[in-house]
Amino acid sequence: MDRGNYDQATVGAGAALGAEHYAALYAKGRALPLREAVALAVAVSVDDRPVELPGAHRPVPRAGTLTPRELQVMRLLVEGLSDKEIAGALGISRRTVSGHVETILGKFNVPSRTAAATYATRHGLV
């Protein structure tokens, strides 16, 4: 990506997310270890086609594949809440939340909560 495309993408992301939310997410991204940042970059597609991750056996599904409860968990995950905080907010056990998070990671075929949050945001799930 050349500098002009980068600048255009960051302005667009800031406008879509709001300046404060964008700044917080940008800071989280800058703090990622290189390996996780690369995995995340691979998991995010340029368009709405499914993304094939290296070593994956299936593509990342399109948006709209989460159950209503998984969607609730995903929304709170995107806000940066821990499993314990999500459990408290939804009135369910932390173990149940952990199960939902694992299911979401599997459905999106992504390696981390961060990658799942990015995928969900990118595809308009939240």
Q: Read out DSSP for 24-69?
A: HHHHHHHTS-HHHHHHHHHHS-SSSS----TT-SSPPPPSS-S-HH
Q: What pLDDT is attached to residue 123?
A: 77
Q: Give yes or no for residue 62 having a pLDDT over 70.
A: no
CATH number for the domain spanning 50: value is 1.10.10.10
Q: Give yes or no for residue 126 having a pLDDT over 80.
A: no
Query: Could you tell me the pLDDT band of residue 4, with boundaries at 50, 70 and 90?
Result: low
Range of the domain at 60: 32-122
In tens, the pLDDT along 69-83 reads 998 999 999 999 999
Q: In the chain, how many domains are there? A: 1
